[in-house]
Structure 1
Amino acid sequence: MAETLTQGPSPTPATLLPALGRAGLYGALVVLALVYATPLFVMVITSLKSLEEIRNGNLLSLPLSPNFDAWIKAWSGACVGVACEGVNRFFVNSVMMAVPSVAISCLLGALNGYALTKWKFRGADLVFALILFGCFIPFQIVLVPMASVLGMLGLASSTAGLVLVHVVYGVCFTTLFFRNYYAAFPSELVKAATIDGAGFLRIFWRIMLPNSLPILVVTVIWQFTNIWNDFLFGASFASGTAQPMTVALNNIVNTSTGVKEYNVDMAAAIIAALPTLLVYVLAGRYFVRGLMAGAVKG
């Protein structure tokens, strides 16, 4: 009798099915995560192997004697064109290109979104429609006119020229993000500040921008990822020592002379991907929050 009481009720199909469903779901997620992470795993372990081990070993086998020689060579000794100085210079170029491009395009997008929602003028909807149209213009269409403009401004084949290109192309997206976010922002706060004598810029700096952190994170992540990973604009509007990291990586991987060093190629690819990976790891959880914050109205 006591043994029967301690055992409790036996599981029924009604209780087993939800548990099995959860187990199946988690199992499928684990399998998909492993499949998704396999390329990165292969890149990392290959970058830690010697060339002899890569030739004689298995693609998924762990390195017998891990070392960072390939990373050191990729950073400071790999041949990019005729110069064998590594990717460090081009990495710096990408930083110098991405940081001002993201900052300027986000600031302009915030100002545009603020003006189009809280200081609406005659024809504001038409202006927004034209800006929105810019989001759908393919990269290839703007190559020739942009090259002409950069030539007239004296910014061809320079990092400053790439900054201008990315700001002009990215301001359409940043305006869209901030406009949708500010459309749901209480207009009463702006009206109250206007009654108190605050002007356009003061309201923007003191009220709008401090309350824009969710959409600001979204916009920064979006812009930084697109700008850092861009290859077409970098290959078209920069040359020589002004080329960004993506162009240098392409030159290393696609070189047709000498011994093919797969470990160096993998190390260079990981170095090129690290900034965007870190951005998503550190701020990725705020990305969806920011998108949902601007999805209520607009």
Structure 2
Amino acid sequence: MPNAMTKTTSLAQRLLRYGLYAILLVMAFVYLMPLWVMLLTSLKDVEEIRTGTLLSLPGSLNFDAWGKAWGSACTGGTCEGISPYLMNSFMIVIPAVVISTLLGALNGYVIAMWRFRGSELFFGLLLIGCFIPFQVVLLPMARTLSFFGLANTTTGLVMVHVVYGVAFTTLFFRNFYIALPKELISAARLDGAGFFRIFWRIVLPLSTPIIVVTVIWQFTQIWNDFLFGVVFSGFDTQPVTVALNNLVNTSFGGKQYNVDMAAALIAAAPTLLVYVFAGKYFVRGLTAGAVKG
């Protein structure tokens, strides 16, 4: 009798496991379907798109749409593709991510390890920045950038993303540092290490997991941003998201959906690659303390 019950329980567990796998496969299929449709469409010519269906396979692989999206598609008044704007996005994202990550690490270190009068109030006020809608800061940002002569420049966009992102990076680092052993800092102080020496020699080398989390978060947020890009950029400094919008809404002749889809995939490729190659480190960083404290 116990053997029969054991077999029944084992069978039920296997069925439950297979059921969960089936549900996950279905959800993965639903989630990836738009990406699959975009890829198929980008590999077809216009006539094949008109006569076929969304899920029909291309008769032959045709990469002409990719070449046009990269170097000759019209984005408003110019027909240079999205490649120049892709470079603009990298020129905005890389310094903004580096600066906001370093500032967040330093701020989190101060708030978590070097308590001062009003530190909790300061941290609470800083967190307000995480919940301020983008639209609220548009006018003050525009006035500030104009005052400093940074309107419509790449440097101005970098500063906008640094200012808006530093509240998030500070939150991440503070929650990570609050879980570090206080004995490390106390021992370093007894040995005569100062504020910055402790930060550079002890705290920062232990911060690899949360640095990965912060870099992925900031890279994704800044790369995918459209509102700040369309408001604060000039004609020559537009990020790729703005260029993609201009390409889709520019029509000379018939609508070329294959070019639009190819351009969208090119624009999304950096963030997709970041998550494919660094997604597991993002999860490890979160579980290592990014949401503690």
In 1, distance between residues paired with 2:244 and 2:235? 13
Alpha carbon RMSD of aligned pairs, Å?
Answer: 1.5
Other structure's SS at 1:149 match: helix
1:27 is aligned to 2:22: yes
| Residue 229 (structure 2) aligns with | 234
Other structure's SS at 1:64 match: coil
Per-residue Cα deviation, 1:81-115 (whole angstroms, up to 9, x for no partner): 11100111100000000000000000000000000
Q: Are the counterparts in 2 of residues 75 and 268 from structure 1 also a CA contact under 8 Å?
A: yes
Match of 2:152 among 157, 178, 182: 157
1:144 is aligned to 2:139: yes
| Residue 272 (structure 1) aligns with | 267
In 2, distance between residues paired with 1:19 and 1:191? 52
In 2, distance between residues paired with 1:9 and 1:64? 55
In 2, distance between residues paired with 1:10 and 1:156? 73
Q: Describe how 1:1-298 pairs up with structure 2 within 5 A.
A: 12-294=7-289, 297-298=292-293
Shift of the 83–185 alpha-carbon distance from structure 1 to 2, 3 Å rule, reads same
1:239 CA drift (Å): 2.0
1:272 CA drift (Å): 0.7
TM-score (norm 1): 0.95
Q: Are the counterparts in 2 of residues 218 and 291 from structure 1 also a CA contact under 8 Å?
A: yes
Structure 2: any 5+ residue segments left out of the alignment? Answer: none
Other structure's SS at 1:137 match: coil
In 2, distance between residues paired with 1:72 and 1:246? 18
In 2, distance between residues paired with 1:92 and 1:198? 42
Q: List 4+ stretches of structure 1 deviating above 6 A.
A: 8-11
1:57 CA drift (Å): 1.2
Mean Cα displacement is larger for which, 188-197 or 86-95? 188-197
Q: Are the counterparts in 2 of residues 184 and 296 from structure 1 also a CA contact under 8 Å?
A: no
Q: Are the counterparts in 1 of residues 248 and 260 from structure 2 also a CA contact under 8 Å?
A: yes
In 2, distance between residues paired with 1:248 and 1:23? 45
1:292 CA drift (Å): 1.8
In 2, distance between residues paired with 1:67 and 1:56? 16
In 2, distance between residues paired with 1:162 and 1:30? 40
Structure 1: any 5+ residue segments left out of the alignment? Answer: 1-7
Other structure's SS at 1:86 match: coil
Letter in 2 for 1:49: K
In 1, distance between residues paired with 2:254 and 2:177? 55
1:256 CA drift (Å): 3.7
1:295 CA drift (Å): 5.5
In 1, distance between residues paired with 2:31 and 2:55? 14
| Residue 3 (structure 1) aligns with | none
1:52 CA drift (Å): 1.0
Per-residue Cα deviation, 1:36-95 (whole angstroms, up to 9, x for no partner): 111000111111111111111121011111121111100100001111001111000000
Q: Are the counterparts in 1 of residues 172 and 291 from structure 2 also a CA contact under 8 Å?
A: no
Letter in 1 for 2:162: V
Query: Identity rate of aligned residues, in percent?
Result: 65
Letter in 2 for 1:106: T
In 2, distance between residues paired with 1:130 and 1:13? 57
Other structure's SS at 2:184 match: helix
Letter in 1 for 2:169: T
Other structure's SS at 1:294 match: helix
1:297 CA drift (Å): 4.3
In 2, distance between residues paired with 1:135 and 1:10? 54
Q: Which has the larger radius of gyration?
A: 1
1:286 CA drift (Å): 1.3
